Amino acid sequence: MPMFDLTGRVALITGAASGIGAATARIFAEAGADVALAFYPPDGHDIRPVVAAVEAAGRRAITAPVDVSSTADVEGLVRAAENEFGAVHIVVANAGIARTVSLADLDDEAWNSVMEVDLHGAWRCFRAAIPSMQREKYGRLLATSSVAGTVSGWPEHSHYAAAKAGLVGLVKSLAVEFGGDGITANAVAPGVIRTPQSLDPVNSLGPAGVDAVAKKVPAGRVGEPDDIGYVYRFLASQEASYVNGQLLVVDGGRNLAGLD
Ligand code: NAD
């Protein structure tokens, strides 16, 4: 049996049509999991290449348009996964948005819109899937946090940083509440990863900013989506059963003191 094998597991992944979510879907399928993939049509990412990669790995995928700020959408995908595959064992609550807004302009709507997706979206996914995990006596609640809010701040992204820090409190609490059911809950804090989000020059770093960060990482590069997908594969596996309630920073060492 290979290590970090996910054969027989079913994983629900949000934000699965691009970036970290798409890489995680492929890597999970290569590890043996069937997947329920949530994509968000307004962003225009094509989910079909992700499904093709899953099928090329010999696994099955179902897909659904999901807005993680909608409880009905989230619960609908969990139900569809249970109908198709029998259960949900793993949730990767990965959907997220970044918006550049200085505090003076951060009105209620701007604050809430990021909270709804980046923090409340994860809570909705976890809440919907936990009963299935309890029946299976196996669960992995995984959230894409960020170094922003947990290691560093991010000017003009205080709502994003607060949401990403909130995920840490969420997984720590669920880790204790459901640890007796074979369920673990952990968050991953990526540093800069080359994805549509980080390459957006308006709401994030943009291509020049991403390249500038690469010079500050000991390895001389920013992260790729696979760097996070492989961490999720480990955390989703049986072998990670004693890792619970943790925040795992995956930034290539960028945020170690003394680098600048
Ligand atoms: P990305 O933009 O490719 O992925 C974000 C995904 O979330 C997209 O597929 C998008 O369609 C989806 N999404 C947006 N709004 C949604 C909604 N309302 N409902 C459902 N899905 C929605 O960028 P990414 O970097 O792969 O982002 C994945 C996660 O990683 C995000 O939570 C992001 O905040 C986090 N993150 C990224 C970096 C980075 O440097 N790229 C660093 C730290 C954390």
Q: Average pLDDT, stretch 132-147?
A: 98
Asked if the model's pLDDT at residue 48 lies above 60, the reply is yes
Tokens of 72: 């009905």
What per-residue confidence (pLDDT) applies to 258? 66
From ligand 1's centre to the CA of 94, what distance in Å?
A: 6
Give yes or no for residue 187 CB within 6 A of ligand 1: no
Cβ of 198 closer than 6 Å to ligand 1, yes or no, is: yes
Q: What is the pLDDT of residue 1?
A: 74
Q: Which of 26, 40, 222 to mutate to test the pocket of ligand 1 (most atoms within 8 A of CB)?
A: 40
For atom 11 of ligand 1, which residue has the closest CA? 40
Q: Which domains does the chain have, with CATH numbers?
A: 10-257 (3.40.50.720)
Ligand 1 pocket check for 217: Cβ under 6 Å: no
Q: What pLDDT sits at residue 259?
A: 58
Mean pLDDT of the region 147-170: 98
160 is catalytic: yes
Does residue 159 carry a pLDDT above 90? yes
Q: Quote the CA–CA distance of 178 and 133 in Å, as a whole number.
A: 10
Residue 39 · residue 63 · CB < 8 Å: yes
pLDDT of 12-21, one tens digit each? 999 999 999 9
| Span from the CA of 31 to the centroid of ligand 1 (angstroms) | 23
What are 197-238's pLDDT values in tens digits? 999 999 999 999 999 999 999 999 999 999 999 999 999 999
pLDDT at residue 237, rounded to an integer: 98
With a cut of 60, say whether residue 129 has pLDDT above it: yes
Q: What is the mean pLDDT of the chain?
A: 97
Residues 6 or more apart in contact with residue 146 via CB below 8 angstroms: 96, 154, 160, 161, 164, 189, 190
